[in-house]
Structures are given as structure tokens and as C-alpha cells.
Amino acid sequence: MNPKLQLALWVAGSFAVGLAAVAAVYRFGGARLRRALVESELGSVFVEVVRFSYYIGLPFGALITGALSVDLLGLGAIAVEDASTLAGFTLRDWMRGSIAAGLATGFVLVVLWLARRSADLPPALFDAQPSALLIVREAAYAEAHWAFYRAPFVLLFQDAYWGATAGFALVAVEWVLARRLRHTPPHANRPHALAATCCMLTSGLLYVTARNLWLMIVAHAAIRRVGERLFTQTAPPAAPYRRAPN
């Protein structure tokens, strides 16, 4: 089978399976199923196994079958002649990519800070911030998924820029359809949507300039970590009860 077609089928399957799973839970499963998946220990384990299989397992499956290459996924070159590599990248690649990631992340965080100060985006209230480990895990899931979706377009256009642009469009379509299946209101959780959009744009930029999945994960996690602190605030403790004087 043609490698381009094979990879396109992998991505199309991922797209269809992801939306089908959302539809099964939110359209046909009902509140009882969602509550069982979230509240029960067995349900939580099942959800995590499914998510890992979807975000990491599918790209890995395409990788080991030869439909996807490590370079397209952003994992560097397997071997570089006459050069020492670390995780598939030379020291020069790491330095150049790190500078690009730092500049892009810093610029995005400044934009988010300005948006928080000027825009009418009320902060959401959370009892606690997600842990750094959880943010890194979600960043790894998202970046592997997005790189997977870019890959067939990079092969098709033979151009990283247009491949990243088309991949961004596919991710955006998937995101919009998933929100519709969940019956999410259009303006719900706008700060989260803004941070996610910034992460996607930064990821696409780093894919074009560095194509280093590890740096994309770090940049994503940094934007999410700082962005959530900018747009969220911890719920204030309840005031102590005082009996009214007689």
C-alpha cells in the first residue's frame, strides 16, 4: 500500500474512533455512564487505559507498522553520521530548538498575560491547581496526537509549513465536533480554549522550526501551567461562622 495512503488511513481511523468514543459517552451513554467512568476507581482506570491507547498507542502502532516515521512524529533521526545525538537530535539541534521554544513560549505567555488584563474573561474558580505531572502528561498526549495528525499532510505537501497548517485545521475540526457532541456551550471555559489554541499554534511553529516533540511537550506544559495560573484563581476559604449578637 502507498505509504501516504496508509498513514492517511491511520489518521482517519484515529479521527473517527475519537469522535465515536465521545458520542458513545455523551450522546448514548447518559449521565449514569459518565458518572461511573468518573467516580468509580475501575472506571477511572479504564478511562486512563483508553486515553493512553488512543493518544500514544495509535501513533506507536503507525510507527511500528512503517506507516509513520520518527522524523514525521518529531522524534528526530535514528542515526546521524559523524555526530553525537541525544534522543535523536544533535547538540546544535537542541540548542537551536530550545531557543525557538523559549522565544515562542515567552511570547505566548506575554500575549496571555495581556489578554487576561484587557479582555473580559472572568477567571474560573478551582479548589486546587492540577499537578505538574498531570500537566506534563496531558501535554505529551496532546503533542503526540497533534504531531500524528500533521504527518500525512507533511507527506502530502512535502512541506512542513503547509503540513502543520493542515494538521492544525484537522485538530480544530475535531475539537469543534467533540464540543458539539458534548453539548458544550459556545462560550464555555473561554480561558481554557484560548490557552489550548495558543498551545496548538506554538506546537505548529515549533514543528516547522525544530520538529522536536520533546521541546513541544515542554513548551505546551509551560503554557498550560502558567496560563492556568493567569486565568484561574483559587476559591477563597469560607468565612468563619459568627453568631449574631442578641
For 143-195, what is each residue's pLDDT tens digit? 999 999 999 999 999 999 999 999 999 999 999 999 888 877 766 667 778 88
Distance CA 195, CA 223 (A): 7
What phi, psi does 91 have (nearest 5°)? -60, -40
Least confident of 33-47, 59-73, 115-129: 115-129
Domain-located, residue 241? no
Buried b / exposed e across 103-139, counting CB within 10 Å, b at 16+?
Answer: ebbeebbeebeebbeeeeeeeeeeeeeeeeeebbbbb
Domain-located, residue 242? no
Check residue 151 and give its pLDDT.
Answer: 95
Check residue 215 and give its pLDDT.
Answer: 95
Domain-located, residue 45? yes
Residues spanned by the domain of 81: 3-234
Report the C-alpha dihedral over residues 94, 99, 104, 110, rounded to 10 degrees. Answer: 140
Q: What's the chain's average pLDDT?
A: 83
Q: Look at the block and give the residue holding cell 484587557.
A: 118
Whole-Å CA distances, 200 to 20, 72, 74, 78, 166: 23, 17, 15, 26, 12
Q: What is the pLDDT of residues 187-223, one digit of tens each?
A: 666 777 888 899 999 999 999 999 999 999 999 999 9
Which grid cell sits at 114?
Answer: 495581556
Task: Report which of residues 243 and 90 the model is more confident about.
Answer: 90
Domain tally for the chain? 1
Q: Does the pTM of the predicted model rise above 0.75?
A: yes
Distance CA 74, CA 71 (A): 5
Domain-located, residue 185? yes
Q: How does strand 232-234 pair with strand 124-126?
A: parallel
Domain-located, residue 244? no
Share of the chain above pLDDT 70, in %: 82
Confidence check: pLDDT of 236 > 60:
no
Domain-located, residue 245? no
DSSP category for residue 122 = P
